[in-house]
C-alpha cells in the first residue's frame, strides 16, 4: 500500500512539474512567437553569467521580479477573499491535469504503472466541472477588490465564461455519444482504432464540427485575446485592477495553465491523446501493408513524445491565434457564443444522433 501512495505522489509531482514548467516556458514562447510573427526578435536579454540562450532565462527573471514586488492589497478590499481569488484560479485549472493520460502503461519494478495520475471514470465531467469552478477565481477576485470597475470586469468575464461553458458542454455531447466511456484513458484507447480501415479513429475525424465548437469555446475559456473580456486590457476595467505582484502573476500563470489544459484536452479528446497513428504495442502496422517492429520501450517513448508534440502544437496554435486577431466587442462575444456556437453544438448533437441511428 505505501508503494501505491508513493507512486501516486511521484506522479502528482511529475505532472505538476511538467505543467508548471510548460506554463513557465509558454510565457517565453509567447514572447518569442509573437516577435517572430511580427519580424522582431523578442526578449533575448536575460542572461546568466553572460549566457543568453535566446532569452530562455526570461521566465525566471519575470518570476523573480514578481516575487520581489510589494504584496499589495488595497485597504478597502476584503483581505481574505482577495487572497483566495488567485489561489482559486490557479488551483482549479492545475488540478484538471491529473485526469490527463500522458502515455500508456509502463512496467517498472514489476508493477504496471499507467502514465496518468488518476483514471477517473467520469474524467470528462471532472474537467468540465473544474474549468467551471475556475470562474470563481474571477468572480471572487472582482468582488473582493471592492472596486466597481473590477466588479464590472469580473461580471463580464463570468458572463462570457458561463455562456461558453454551455457551448463547450454541448460540443462534447456529440463526442460522448460516439465514445464508449467518459474515462480519458479509455477514450484514448478507443482512438487507437482505425476508421474506414486506414484513418486513425481520432475524435477530430468522428466529430469535426464538435472539435471546432469545443476549440473555440475553450479558447474563450482561456480568457485571452481575442476573448479577453475579463481582462479588458484596453479598457482597464479587468478584474485584476486591484492586483499586483505575485497575486497578479498567479492570475497570469493560471491563464497559461488554461492554455495547456485546453491543449491537453483537445489532444486527448480529439487528437488521439498519446496515440501515434498506426502504432500498435508491437510496432507500426500500416494499412497499405508493411510493418515496422518497434521495441516496447521505444513505443512508450514515442507515445509520450506524441502526446507532448500535440500539446505543444496546440499551445503554438493558440498563441498564434492570440497574436493574429483583434479582440471582440462584448456583444460580438455573446453573439458568437449564443447564436453561433450553441446552435452549432445542438446541430452537431442532432447530426451525430441521426448518423448513429441510421447506422
Partner 1 sequence: MSQAWRVIKEIVRGSAITARHFFVNMTFHTLRLFGIRTKRRGAVTIQYPEVKKTLSPRHHSLHRIRPRADGKPSCVACMLCVTVCPSECLYVEAAEDADPEIQKVPAKFVVDLNRCCFCGFCVEACPVDAIRMDTGEIRLASLTRAGLEVPLDKP
Q: Smaller CB distance to partner 1: residue 39 or 70?
A: 39
Which position among 33, 62, 255, 258 is part of the footprint of partner 1 (CB under 8 A)?
33
Coil, helix or strand for 292? strand
Contacting range for partner 1; rule: CB under 8 A; set: 35-43, 190-198, 199-207, 327-335? 35-43
Contacting range for partner 1; rule: CB under 8 A; set: 36-44, 55-63, 147-155, 184-192? 36-44
Of 76, 134, 77, 80, nearest in space to 251 by CA: 134
Instruction: Say which residue the cell 532565462 belongs to.
Output: 57
Q: Smaller CB distance to partner 1: residue 83 or 338?
A: 338
Point out which residues pair with 293 in neighbouring strands: 283
Which position among 9, 13, 21, 36 is part of the footprint of partner 1 (CB under 8 A)?
36
Q: Smaller CB distance to partner 1: residue 39 or 112?
A: 39
Question: Rounded to the nearest 10 degrees, what angle do helices 58-68 and 2-37 cross at?
Answer: 100
Point out which residues pair with 193 in neighbouring strands: none
Contacting range for partner 1; rule: CB under 8 A; set: 29-37, 157-165, 237-245, 296-304? 29-37
DSSP count for the chain of H helices, then E strands:
13, 6
| Nearest distance, CB of residue 324 and partner 1, angstroms | 4
| Nearest distance, CB of residue 218 and partner 1, angstroms | 16
For strand 283-285 and strand 291-293, is the pairing parallel, antiparallel, or unpaired? Answer: antiparallel
| Nearest distance, CB of residue 44 and partner 1, angstroms | 8
Coil, helix or strand for 111? strand
Q: Smaller CB distance to partner 1: residue 14 or 37?
A: 37
Contact yes or no for 293/88 (Cβ under 8 A):
no
**263-322 positions binding partner 1, by CB under 8 A:** 320-321
Contact yes or no for 187/268 (Cβ under 8 A):
yes
| Nearest distance, CB of residue 244 and partner 1, angstroms | 28
Distance CA 210, CA 190 (A): 17
Q: From the CB of residue 259, how many other CB atoms can be counted at a distance below 10 Å?
A: 27
**324-343 positions binding partner 1, by CB under 8 A:** 324-325
| Nearest distance, CB of residue 40 and partner 1, angstroms | 5
Contact yes or no for 190/158 (Cβ under 8 A):
no
| Nearest distance, CB of residue 39 and partner 1, angstroms | 5
Contact yes or no for 188/275 (Cβ under 8 A):
yes
* DSSP secondary structure code for residue 161 in this structure: H
Contacting range for partner 1; rule: CB under 8 A; set: 17-25, 34-42, 98-106, 155-163? 34-42
Contacting range for partner 1; rule: CB under 8 A; set: 37-45, 66-74, 298-306, 346-354? 37-45
Q: From the CB of residue 237, how many other CB atoms can be counted at a distance below 10 Å?
A: 20
**204-263 positions binding partner 1, by CB under 8 A:** none
Coil, helix or strand for 205? helix
Residue 21 interacting with partner 1 (CB under 8 A): no
Which H/E stretch holds residue 199?
strand 199-200
Cell reading at 34: 509573437
Residue 346 interacting with partner 1 (CB under 8 A): no
* # residues near partner 1 by CB under 8 A: 13
Residues near 278 by Cβ (< 8 Å), separated by ≥ 6? 194, 200, 284, 285, 286, 287
| Nearest distance, CB of residue 37 and partner 1, angstroms | 5
| Nearest distance, CB of residue 226 and partner 1, angstroms | 10
Which position among 40, 52, 79, 339 is part of the footprint of partner 1 (CB under 8 A)?
40
Residue 38 interacting with partner 1 (CB under 8 A): yes
Contact track, partner 1, 41-80, x by CB under 8 A: x---------------------------------------
Instruction: Say which residue the cell 462584448 belongs to.
Output: 330
Site for partner 1, rule CB under 8 A = 33, 35-41, 320-321, 323-325
Amino acid at each position: 500500500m505505501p508503494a501505491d501512495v508513493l507512486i501516486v505522489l511521484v506522479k502528482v509531482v511529475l505532472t505538476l512539474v511538467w505543467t508548471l514548467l510548460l506554463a513557465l516556458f509558454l510565457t517565453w514562447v509567447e514572447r518569442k512567437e509573437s516577435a517572430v510573427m511580427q519580424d522582431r526578435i523578442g526578449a533575448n536579454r536575460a542572461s546568466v553569467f553572460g549566457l543568453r540562450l535566446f532569452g530562455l532565462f526570461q521566465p525566471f527573471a519575470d518570476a523573480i521580479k514578481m516575487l520581489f514586488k510589494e504584496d499589495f492589497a488595497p485597504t478597502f478590499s476584503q483581505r481574505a477573499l482577495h487572497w483566495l481569488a488567485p489561489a482559486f484560479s490557479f488551483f482549479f485549472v492545475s488540478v484538471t491535469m491529473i485526469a490527463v493520460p500522458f502515455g500508456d502503461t509502463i512496467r517498472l519494478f514489476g508493477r504496471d504503472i499507467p502514465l496518468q495520475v488518476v483514471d477517473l471514470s467520469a474524467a470528462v465531467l471532472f474537467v468540465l466541472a473544474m474549468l467551471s469552478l475556475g470562474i470563481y477565481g474571477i468572480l471572487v477576485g472582482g468582488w473582493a477588490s471592492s472596486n466597481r470597475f473590477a466588479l464590472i470586469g469580473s461580471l463580464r468575464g463570468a458572463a462570457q465564461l458561463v455562456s461558453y461553458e454551455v457551448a463547450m458542454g454541448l460540443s462534447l455531447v456529440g463526442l460522448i455519444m460516439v465514445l464508449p466511456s467518459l474515462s480519458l484513458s479509455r477514450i484514448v484507447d478507443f482512438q487507437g482504432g482505425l476508421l474506414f480501415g486506414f484513418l486513425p479513429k481520432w475524435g477530430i475525424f468522428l466529430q469535426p464540427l464538435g472539435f471546432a465548437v469545443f476549440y473555440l469555446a475553450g479558447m474563450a475559456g482561456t480568457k485571452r485575446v481575442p476573448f479577453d473580456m475579463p481582462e479588458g486590457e484596453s479598457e482597464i476595467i479587468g478584474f485584476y485592477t486591484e492586483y499586483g505582484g505575485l497575486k497578479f502573476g498567479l492570475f497570469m500563470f493560471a491563464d497559461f495553465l488554461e492554455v495547456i489544459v485546453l491543449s491537453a484536452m483537445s489532444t486527448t479528446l480529439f487528437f488521439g491523446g498519446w496515440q501515434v497513428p498506426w502504432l500498435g504495442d508491437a510496432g507500426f502496422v500500416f494499412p497499405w501493408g508493411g510493418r515496422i517492429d518497434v521495441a516496447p520501450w521505444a513505443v512508450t517513448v514515442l507515445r509520450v513524445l506524441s502526446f507532448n508534440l500535440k500539446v505543444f502544437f496546440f499551445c503554438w496554435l493558440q498563441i498564434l491565434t492570440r497574436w493574429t486577431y483583434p479582440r471582440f466587442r462584448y456583444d460580438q462575444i455573446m453573439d458568437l457564443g449564443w447564436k453561433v456556437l450553441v446552435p452549432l453544438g445542438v446541430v452537431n448533437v442532432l447530426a451525430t444522433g441521426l448518423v448513429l441511428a441510421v447506422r
